[in-house]
Structure 1
Amino acid sequence: MTSTVPALGTRTAEGPALEAVLLDMDGTLVDTEGFWWDVEVEVFAGLGHTLDDAWRHVVVGGPMSRSAGFLIDATGADITLAELAVLLNEGFEDRIDRTLPLMPGAARLLAELSAHGVPTALVSASHRRVIDRVLTSLGPQYFALTVAGDEVARTKPHPEPYLLAASGLGADPARCAVVEDTATGVAAAEAAGCHVVAVPSVAPIDPATRRTVVTSLEEVTLAFLHGLMTEMR
């Protein structure tokens, strides 16, 4: 059978159009953005505070330090950032131990990238302890490297995580496709100079230059990614 997917080494005059694919985790590959909010609501209820549902869009997709810090300031809860981080991670881990739903198309996309030898990295604002837990279900074999939010000096929306991932794969950020679900992650990827495929999970994301918006990972194939990068060039 002849594959319709261009070879990874397909080149333009300047080099390969697609050198690597960098993927967010929560809300992109695994359906867990709601888990984080549920845990935050539960933890703050235990502290005697009710979270305003409007805050959900403020904390989604960002590093725990920012999200937790915002909620402490907004509620006036008597808890330190470090103490809250422990409670949130423990609550989240308890939920993913019970169930970890993959986003539609996630398993197929990872298998396709692997089958064609595309360098792939997982880039998340979640802590290492959470990423390693999720990887047991996602499949660590699908990722050449992973970047955790507590392993970088500046996490999303700063470009450092995506620049680190591209460097680790030996790829030019401008020739990397990033798949993200939140505005925070999109901002990080774009600041790194990557082409972004946005699959909004909680809040809408508008198309823009070097940013393509789709409704589901079911639309994202290797041929689709090659096409985007070729058109961009």
Structure 2
Amino acid sequence: MTALEAHARPGSAQGLQAVLCDMDGTLVDTERSWFATEVSVMADLGFRLGPEHAEHLLGSPMDPAVAYLIGVSGADIAPEELERRINVRMVETLSSGVDLRPGAKRLLAELDAARVPMALVTASYRAIVDAVLPSLGAHHFGVTVAGDEVTLPKPHPEPYLKAAAALGVAPERCVVLEDSRTGVASGEAAGCAVVAVPSMTPIPDGPRRTVRTSLDDVDLAFLRRVVRRTTAAP
């Protein structure tokens, strides 16, 4: 029996089969770092990126984020070069470590203790994921899906469907933890229940989502109730 198979059995008996976690802004406090990095890079190009742009960039995959930045700034730079500059500067920022969001460490430990399978599903590229995992704890996740490892990024359902398939679980028996509207849309499109913990912009309640102010308000019993409620809904 593989470690993943051993993890999967207890979760199946409880209705909840797996927890699929976004990274930036959900488990680690990096959304502000991303925006500060984008502000810094765009300042080098002579453009002031103000807070009114944050909602358009929060949780966004790299390609649309870069397209937005070039579109609003009119910067004379190739998308590939802007993407490279942002990622290089972000890896430098993360190399000294990153803070976890309130409640994240406790929740991950609780899910580990209950042998609930977990996946990390992020719009960030693999280089960013590898820079964050030492602070977050790679051992928590049976699967990690980075933004440059999917054909269609969030808000498309592919990232979460890929993670559920890799874990061998049914999407409708998974809970997605997210902090952005883009990520919430991806999880819901995949058929998962979603728990939204907004980081920088508000997220309204919805039929397949539950909004909490912090992961301090989320535990295993709560996640099991969320799955039971959404699977029982018509």
Normalization by structure 2: what TM-score?
0.92
**Residue 220 (structure 1) aligns with:** 218
AA matched with 2:189: A
Structure 1 residue 229 displacement after superposition: 1.4
Give matches, 1:1-233, under 5 Å: 8-10=11-13, 16-232=14-230, 233=232
Provide the aligned length of Structure 1 versus Structure 2.
Answer: 222
Instruction: Measure, in 2, the Cα distance between the counterparts of 1:8 and 1:110.
Output: 15
Instruction: Measure, in 1, the Cα distance between the counterparts of 2:117 and 2:217.
Output: 20
Structure 1 residue 99 displacement after superposition: 4.0
Unmatched runs of 5 consecutive residues or more in structure 1: 1-6, 11-15
Report if the CA contact (8 A) 2:118-2:140 is conserved.
yes
Structure 1 residue 98 displacement after superposition: 3.0
4+ aligned runs moved over 6 Å, structure 1: none
> RMSD value over aligned CA atoms?
1.0
Aligned-partner SS, 1:8:
helix
Structure 1 residue 52 displacement after superposition: 2.9
Identity within the alignment, %:
51
Structure with the bigger percentage of helix: 2
Aligned-partner SS, 2:95:
helix
Unmatched runs of 5 consecutive residues or more in structure 2: 1-9
